[in-house]
Structure 1
Amino acid sequence: MPNIHTADSPVRQRAPWWFNLAGQLLQPWVRIRRDPAEPAALLQAGVPVCYVIERDGFSDALILQRACREAGLPNPMQALAGTRRRRSVFALARRDGWIFGRNRKRAPNEPLRQLVRSLEGMPERDIQIVPVSIYVGRAPNRDSGWFRVLFSENWVVVGRFRRMLALLLNGRDTVVHFSAPVSLRSVLAESGEIAPERFTRKIARVLRTHFHRIRAAVIGPDLSHRRTVVDAVLNAEPVRAAIAASAAKEKISHAKAWRKAHKLVMEIAADYSHPVVRSVSFLLSNFWNKLYDGIAMHHFDKARAAAPGYEVVYVPSHRSHADYLLMSYQLHVSGVVVPHIAAGVNLNLPAIGPILRRGGAFFMRRSFTGNPLYSVVFKEYMAQLIDRGVPIEYFTEGTRSRTGRLLAPRGGLLSMTVRAFLRAPRRPVLFQPVYIGYEKLMEGKSYTGELSGKPKEKESLLGLLRGLKVLRQRYGHVALNFGEPIELTPLLDAASADWRATSADPDAKPEWLNSVVDKLAEQIQININRAADVNPINLLALALLATPKHAMAESDLLAQLELSKAMLEELPYSDRITLTPMNPAGIIAYGEQMGWIQRVQHPLGDVLTATGEQAVLLSYFRNNVLHLNAAAAWVACCFLNNRRMSRASVLRLGKIIYPFIQGELFLPWDEEGFGAQLQATIDFFVRRGMLESTGDGRVLERAPGQDDSAFQLKVIARSLIQAFERYYITIAALAKNGPHTMTGAELENACALTAQRLSLLNELSAPEFFDKALFRGFIQKLRERRIVWTDDAGKLDYASALEGIVRDAKVILSREVRHSILKITPGGEKDQATENQADATKAVAVQTSLLPEDASATDLHRRHVDAEQHEHERRTGSDRRGTPDA
């Protein structure tokens, strides 16, 4: 009578002597943790046990035998009762090779066939199959050695030599997971009259699915996309149709078109590797320590709490090549899965590209134009990532900001994400904006060169090696601020109540899709700005760049920094803004330490200055936080050339100009909300004594030009004044050339040239002053508000409302600035006397508009007297700081 191997009747080992010897040699190197701790309780008494492991291997058999012995389970090396099998264990796949093992694609049909045959004709007999998963070094913690990480458990089948190294390095972190046994008799009965061959294939498929699910739960999802996603992309219906279309259009065989599509997928797809990510994290840890003084993450706990159950798409600001490395590193050390990152194909450099690819980068070309097959393949790859719940990261700006401002978003990847979700809305999508703030940039000099007209240097391995010299410097602190997340589903609900019906057609492009993408893109930029980090360099840049020579007396700079911090604290932009805890004196000392500012000693008091190239580079950091200053800067601008204005005029003009500022700085308010922010700002200035409120709060008045409070207002105003100068340049170019004479591109070019020349003549330190993108954005806003439009010939025409903007500009911009712009702007010459006469005839109307409707003649006379006094101060330069009060 054959032996029956059960949980209740242990048997002696019948393994070869050399197998037992190997087990004894391995024992000191392996420490096993069973899951569950008492797997014997899972087994059915009196029924033979057959173990199935995921992968064939000598070490796995040794570990399984030891785990069974320690748990009091039947010996897997014993012959299986009632069958011809000499062992009570079999593997789903075999491993070939000694170093780089490969999985032999052979289903375990023969072992399963033997088990099924042993039950034929014997209905009382059963066999319980126990799936056992073995993981060696499944999840080394971040304190584990770098070398151990290379040999930690992953999804790749490795050779015997690599497995031996894994056991030596990580064997003490071995997990043996016993799953609940499966009754072969019960499965056979449930399958009905199914052929034995089909039955064995079915059982093998179920077991593979089971092991896949357990492995994903223990070591994380399989993100090795070269193996798991490429086939899915090529087999998707849209890609198959695109392959057929490409074959027909190019008159090539279907096989050749398929190979072409396969090559494209391989060019795009990431090849995520846990060991590479862990290894690179060790290298980056030392790299960041040498480069930065610290990396801080704010509001990350809120982001982590919001993520479960969502497909998370990280959408950070893009200011440096370090952005995606910093994001991935910080997420990894915080215990969050590293996202897959959309990277430009220009970064797929020799040696660097493969590392980035294994770190989760997937590469995309700058343009899909003229290559429909590539477009379909890339979109399908994105859809596969989203359908599988893989976290993704991309930059909606499309490129690094050269000015420090957020760039106008590009909707390509956002549209792909939305359409992929519409196609299979199984897991809701959550967009996570992230603000990344620096105190010094590695690319600073190249940015200023590009803005000044130098061509962008193409990425290359040689260029990367040349750029390593930047590692000799220190770059201060970095902040990653996580903004308010944005759910996609509410946006779709607001756009269309029946958007879910769209999922039935994968090629559908509903008419509301573009508006959803545009709104989503704008909200992402707004939420990034609402999570800004204000560091010491931002505050120094806001103050010093507002003076003609980028210099301030130390006492004035201390006062200005204190005012800026107080304004940010008392008028909070949002609850996610973070502000440096340094006091004004500490900020100045830190700026000197970082080399951004220099101290010039003087008997009457030291002067702090930013000179030459440093001043130009500082404009980048001023622009990072310019949006936080927008409301205060507008109020202050109203008093650059006016001693007195009505509160109503400040609010009225603010609401008129707001749509243009909002489009440029991605401000969060509507017009009414901006008005409320202006009211709060005015009240703040009144509390601080910078403005005097008279006439029951209806009239606002600043101090004379030589007063400290007037100087502080001027510094605040000049952070935004260049925006109004750009607006005036655009309007002047339109007006001088007349309607129906210029295309949009010609207007952009004329404006950029005018601004560039004005910058040269006035030594402006902001290269973005003549950035075409900013002029393009303003022209687009003019189009949206139907102030400017394109005629049938493609030329620009404009409405009479343009004259109102010109009139309002006279309130903000000095006469000298306006005349300089008109003189430089290319186009039909405007007679200077006519301009002077226009100024004179409109002066009374403008002045009247600045006062309350019930202002008396005495008020108007007083205003004329104040204006004369103001002009005298401006001409004589009586401002003790040497800056004209205009």
Structure 2
Amino acid sequence: MTTKTQAEMAKIPDGASVVYLLDASSELEVEVLDEWLSGRGTPGEMIRIASTRRRTRTDPRLDARLKRDDDPYLVPVRVVWLPEERQGNRTARWTDLLRLGDPRDPNFIMERLIRKVAPDRIAVVVGEGAHSSELAGAYAATDEVVTFREFATRRAWLSLERAERKLRGNRYKIPKFLHEELTTRPEFGDGAIQFGTERGLSEKMSFRRASYYLREMAASHSPFLIDLIANAIHALYHRGYGAIHYDAESIKKIATLGQEHPLVFLPSHRSHFDRISLQYILWENDLPPNHTAGGINMNFFPIGPLIRRTGVFFIRRSFRGNELYKFVVKQYLDYLIERRFPLEWYIEGGRSRTGKPRPPTYGLLSWVVDSWRRGKAEDVILIPISIGYDEIQDVGAYAAEARGGEKQPESFGWALGAVRNLASRYGNIHVRFADTISVAEQLGAAGTSDTHLEIQKVAFEVMSRISRATPVTPTALVSIALAVAGGKPHTADNLAEIVFEHAAYVEDRGFPITERVETVAIVERVLDRLVEQWTVTRRIGQAETAYWTDFDQSLEVAYYRNMVVHFFLPRAMAEVALVGAEDEEDFWARISELRDLLKFEFFFPEKEALQEEIAADLCGDVPKWREEVEKGEGESVLRSTRPVTAPWALGAIVEAYLVVAHQLKADGGGVDDDRFIDACLERAQFYLLDQRISHDEAISKELFTSGLSLVRNREQIDTEAKRESFSTQMNSLHADLNALPTGTGRGSDQSLSSP
């Protein structure tokens, strides 16, 4: 399919009887097409078909014309209205609202005005032609429940859409005829009747209910709003952020992949800015807009209608037992995959409240894989994406929820408040595209049996690649330094020493970064920005300025180091295992025990791969560490490694699990989740006051919930002996952590002096 403007015309087969199918929404458009065709030197009959812009009716003469024996050659043509050209681009802007609406869809008055004063904004596109006999053959092979006239009209629409897209750009590739195409498929009607009648509905009502579900969930893209929202996003993120950083070469590779396969974008989820950041990147690079799965809770006025028209489709939070609704969701996904419209959703399900990735959900992923297995596409390409931030405006709300506060429901007032809060500066946004995953290569040839385990492995690989692509930011390093400081006041120079040591470790291991942190000025810049956001406390004295975090700020600051803690995890686990390890076998046994204990907090590779990571990390500091450990000299290895990471990387988790263990012993076997978590919050606050634990951020509903999930998974709740075993394990691990040095430098056990 090629775009035809006033400069060129499709080649008409010699001797063909030509019929031009006019997709015209007004009499003026008919005039424009008539004039244009008259000047092409290729005479033919003109018949109007139903317009995609105003949805007029198809001329009934088309039925008779299609049945004639001369096998006419059908050529679809359409008038395209273009926005005003600005700096080489023809995209809509907010100023167009002051000019009576969408420049691509002018009203009766604007059509005539544009034709008179701006004829360069009028173009004609010509779709690929076909003989009536070719369409008849395709119609005979289709299973769509439509008349031949409707089939021919729809084929003309699709041909013109492809032609118009080459004129306007790929950013406007949208499923314009979703409802017409999907609801006329026999499999849609048959499935709707089957699952509807199972719910006690009549056949007619079953189809109506399925159609209603489709309209409730489906995105309804508007090119006008796609442009307007993209311009709004640019203005919005600049209120709080400097720039969105991403790799242009990665975008080019994704664009190439999208020409051959359906794409599924799977970004991390830490902020409501995640979607609009990715949306703007795609728009800026002329890529098709994603179809993004959103919770029905976001479908409130006016936000819901706006984001629906930029690509969000809404799925109910729960539809267990409603097989008809589930069927419609699957049909919708099948259609998008079959037509290579890109998908997007958050595989974690919701925003991370801690900075660490949440466990993946499998529903949508399993349905996409199922669609691939049923031959809707030869392959599906998964694109893991890390969306990171120097700082996030939501961390205060996350911390409040972790301490027992209620989640603020989404509403228009909530959205306005979020925009107002962007008056502060939050640094930059960092979008990193990880290596893509081919579903066909990952799961083998289509047609093999699907299992839940296979889906879990794919989801795990997605999360692992997101984690590896996440860059270490200066804010994360400063957050680590504040954790090492333990809430005590320190100067920027003191904190910078810790930052530089951890930055050197990051650079030595080749972890991704956003920028090198080599000066105290960079550390001060981050600290002052955190002070502006009330995340860090600052006191300016006559001689020195001190920074620290208090109890209410500790969880907010912890969020940033948790975003990158997985990079330090092998080292932290090794440090704990080295304490008291009798030999290398005992060392690896301790590593395995830690891996099992922390499986609800981190995504671990296979046992052998984890051992290789830990061994390589220790070799970086102590090449002969194995010989030392085999002799029972693990603590000598500890004294030769830097920096010490376990106290800040694992301390809060271990202390939170310790509280869970003690609360289980106190409660006995019966556990009511809400009451139990509240009891853990109360116990942890007492332990902190009594100095039984030392990490403020250990007082977290998220950590207590993970700890409870762990003991349930390990079946350590049911009997007193099992609860005692878990408590003993946590007491021992807590003691090992406390035996580690907590300061900076090689083996130092002294915290930095306060100013």
TM-score by length of 2: 0.82
Please name the residue that 1:24 is paired with: none
Cα deviation code 1:489-523 (max 9, x no counterpart): 23433xxx7x616xxxxxxxx6x532222222222
Identity in percent: 21
Please name the residue that 1:853 is paired with: none
Cα deviation code 1:731-774 (max 9, x no counterpart): 45556777x66688887666555435434555989776344544
CA–CA distance in structure 1, aligned partners of residues 514 and 65 of structure 2? 71
Map of 1:704-723 to 2, 5 A cutoff? 713-714=643-644, 717-723=647-653
Is 1:415–2:366 an aligned residue pair?
yes
Please name the residue that 1:831 is paired with: none
Please name the residue that 2:387 is paired with: 436
Please name the residue that 2:9 is paired with: 39
Match of 2:555 among 613, 616, 637: 616
Change (3 A) 1:392 1:115: closer
CA–CA distance in structure 2, aligned partners of residues 138 and 116 of structure 1? 40
Kindly indicate whether the alpha-carbon contact (under 8 Å) linking 2:195 and 2:324 is maintained by their aligned counterparts in 1: yes
Is 1:64–2:33 an aligned residue pair?
yes
Amino acid at match of 1:347: M
CA–CA distance in structure 2, aligned partners of residues 401 and 798 of structure 1? 31
Match of 2:633 among 699, 702, 705: 699
Query: Bigger radius of gyration, 1 or 2?
Result: 1
Match of 1:588 among 513, 523, 538: 523
Q: Report deviation, 1:360.
A: 1.0
Please name the residue that 1:724 is paired with: 654
Please name the residue that 1:788 is paired with: 715
Please name the residue that 1:528 is paired with: 466
Please name the residue that 1:312 is paired with: 263
Cα deviation code 1:814-860 (max 9, x no counterpart): 48xxxxxxxxxxxxxxxxxxxxxxxxxxxxxxxxxxxxxxxxxxxxx
CA–CA distance in structure 1, aligned partners of residues 607 and 30 of structure 2? 72
Match of 2:398 among 430, 447, 457: 447
Amino acid at match of 1:215: E
Is 1:137–2:82 an aligned residue pair?
yes
**Secondary structure at 1:52 match in 2:** strand
CA–CA distance in structure 1, aligned partners of residues 404 and 366 of structure 2? 32
Please name the residue that 1:809 is paired with: 733
Query: RMSD over aligned Cα, in angstroms?
Result: 4.3
Kindly indicate whether the alpha-carbon contact (under 8 Å) linking 2:265 and 2:344 is maintained by their aligned counterparts in 1: yes
Map of 1:278-427 to 2, 5 A cutoff? 278-298=227-247, 299-369=250-320, 371-427=322-378
Change (3 A) 1:483 1:753: farther
Kindly indicate whether the alpha-carbon contact (under 8 Å) linking 1:544 and 1:609 is maintained by their aligned counterparts in 2: yes
Is 1:627–2:566 an aligned residue pair?
yes
CA–CA distance in structure 2, aligned partners of residues 438 and 763 of structure 1? 34
Kindly indicate whether the alpha-carbon contact (under 8 Å) linking 2:390 and 2:473 is maintained by their aligned counterparts in 1: yes
Q: Report deviation, 1:313.
A: 1.4
Amino acid at match of 2:684: A
Please name the residue that 2:195 is paired with: 242
Match of 1:539 among 451, 454, 477: 477
Q: Report deviation, 1:216.
A: 2.6
Amino acid at match of 2:82: G
Amino acid at match of 1:625: V
Is 1:685–2:637 an aligned residue pair?
no
Kindly indicate whether the alpha-carbon contact (under 8 Å) linking 2:75 and 2:128 is maintained by their aligned counterparts in 1: yes
Cα deviation code 1:243-298 (max 9, x no counterpart): 222235xxxx5545544444333222211111111111112211122221111114
Q: Report deviation, 1:403.
A: 1.4
Match of 2:217 among 252, 268, 274: 268
CA–CA distance in structure 2, aligned partners of residues 229 and 768 of structure 1? 53
Q: Report deviation, 1:342.
A: 1.3
Amino acid at match of 1:719: A
Change (3 A) 1:488 1:48: closer
**Secondary structure at 1:479 match in 2:** strand
Change (3 A) 1:168 1:454: farther
**Secondary structure at 1:314 match in 2:** strand
Kindly indicate whether the alpha-carbon contact (under 8 Å) linking 2:76 and 2:126 is maintained by their aligned counterparts in 1: yes
Please name the residue that 1:172 is paired with: 120
CA–CA distance in structure 2, aligned partners of residues 113 and 666 of structure 1? 65
Cα deviation code 1:407-437 (max 9, x no counterpart): 1222222233233333443242222111111
Change (3 A) 1:474 1:772: closer
CA–CA distance in structure 1, aligned partners of residues 56 and 626 of structure 2? 84
Change (3 A) 1:104 1:131: closer
Kindly indicate whether the alpha-carbon contact (under 8 Å) linking 1:651 and 1:678 is maintained by their aligned counterparts in 2: no
Kindly indicate whether the alpha-carbon contact (under 8 Å) linking 1:526 and 1:666 is maintained by their aligned counterparts in 2: yes
Kindly indicate whether the alpha-carbon contact (under 8 Å) linking 1:631 and 1:674 is maintained by their aligned counterparts in 2: yes
CA–CA distance in structure 2, aligned partners of residues 704 and 89 of structure 1? 85
Match of 2:46 among 86, 89, 99: 89
CA–CA distance in structure 2, aligned partners of residues 703 and 183 of structure 1? 80
Q: Which runs of 5+ in 1 are unaligned?
A: 1-32, 81-87, 96-100, 121-125, 195-199, 502-509, 816-866, 871-876
CA–CA distance in structure 2, aligned partners of residues 697 and 65 of structure 1? 93
Please name the residue that 1:755 is paired with: 684
Is 1:674–2:610 an aligned residue pair?
yes
Amino acid at match of 2:244: I
Q: Report deviation, 1:165.
A: 6.3
Change (3 A) 1:589 1:297: same
Amino acid at match of 1:64: L
Change (3 A) 1:170 1:308: farther
CA–CA distance in structure 2, aligned partners of residues 553 and 104 of structure 1? 72
CA–CA distance in structure 2, aligned partners of residues 168 and 623 of structure 1? 61
Amino acid at match of 1:656: E
Q: Report deviation, 1:661.
A: 3.0
Is 1:212–2:158 an aligned residue pair?
yes
Change (3 A) 1:449 1:267: same
CA–CA distance in structure 2, aligned partners of residues 50 and 703 of structure 1? 84
Kindly indicate whether the alpha-carbon contact (under 8 Å) linking 2:337 and 2:376 is maintained by their aligned counterparts in 1: no
Please name the residue that 1:54 is paired with: 23
Kindly indicate whether the alpha-carbon contact (under 8 Å) linking 1:315 and 1:431 is maintained by their aligned counterparts in 2: yes
Change (3 A) 1:433 1:882: same
Please name the residue that 1:567 is paired with: 505
Map of 1:121-200 to 2, 5 A cutoff? 129-137=74-82, 144-146=91-93, 151=102, 153=104, 160-161=108-109, 163-164=111-112, 171-178=119-126
Change (3 A) 1:304 1:443: same
CA–CA distance in structure 2, aligned partners of residues 40 and 444 of structure 1? 58
Q: Which runs of 5+ in 2 are unaligned?
A: 141-145, 166-171, 742-747
**Secondary structure at 1:132 match in 2:** strand
CA–CA distance in structure 2, aligned partners of residues 259 and 741 of structure 1? 47
CA–CA distance in structure 1, aligned partners of residues 239 and 710 of structure 2? 45
Change (3 A) 1:116 1:444: closer
Kindly indicate whether the alpha-carbon contact (under 8 Å) linking 1:49 and 1:129 is maintained by their aligned counterparts in 2: yes
